[in-house]
Amino acid sequence: MAAKKPKTDRVAAFRVIAVFAVPFLTAVSKLDIRGQENVPRTGAFVLSPNHYSNIDPLIMAWALWRSGRAPRFLAKASLWKIPVVRFALEKSGQIPVERAGATRGSAPLAAATRLTEEDAAVIVYPEGTLTRDPDLWPMRGKTGAARLALEQGVPLIPAAHWGTQKLLPRYSKRLRGFPRKRIDVVFGPPVDLDDLRGRPLDSTTLNEATTRIMAAITALVEQLRGETAPVERWNPSAHGQSEFGRMGDGRTA
């Protein structure tokens, strides 16, 4: 008897988006993807990659799509107020999250519920913004990805990429699509959070989970770069830097 083919969530809306996005991405970049066997074929999970270019989400979404899963993101709820954008977000299963106001505290729980109800693959950047590290290594992480994975007991898959800075340098608005840029992507095995599941989601638990997540991501980046990351992860506040927003450092690659 033939094995049952694993079900994927390549929904129709993503096929429409892919018709426009994939030719563009193929024209400006060439992906070398490793570790696709670590991407769950079915069921909900959180995917957490490194982040150092504004084009990263598009590249990681493409890599996940090519691995058989439709990518979702936690998107600002305010985007749902724009009719055309709202239609596209709803059809492609994106998850609205309030980032300010009275409902902000319930956002992680609501997102976790949507994640499991829809068996979705959700991309969450644990750094929260482009890394402040001057050499583009992963910086200190925030606890959102850990909370999301632990609340509903779903796997957290670390991922890394290297090469997007050649296509779109950090904070740059000028795409460098010629010649095509090679971008290496690797998906790692699930981060071991088993001993933390079922524990109160206090700062101790979330910080420990986040430390493990960032260590796994950094190890994958080291693998792609063939270099060793700094022993101490970059902490923006220790260097007098803001946690969010644009930060120029004069680098273009």
Average the pLDDT over 145-160 and give the result.
Answer: 93
Token pair 């910086």: residue = 139
For 12-27, the pLDDT digits (tens) are 777 888 888 899 999 9
Predicted structure pTM score = 0.86
Average the pLDDT over 223-245 and give the result.
Answer: 90
Cβ burial 144-153 (10 Å sphere, 16+ → b, else e) = bbbbbbbbbe
Residue 220: how many other CB atoms lie within 10 Å: 23
Do 124 and 144 contact (CB within 8 A), yes or no?
Answer: yes
Q: Supply the pLDDT for residue 216.
A: 98
Angstrom CA distances, 154 to 62, 69, 90, 147, 151, stand at 22, 15, 23, 10, 8
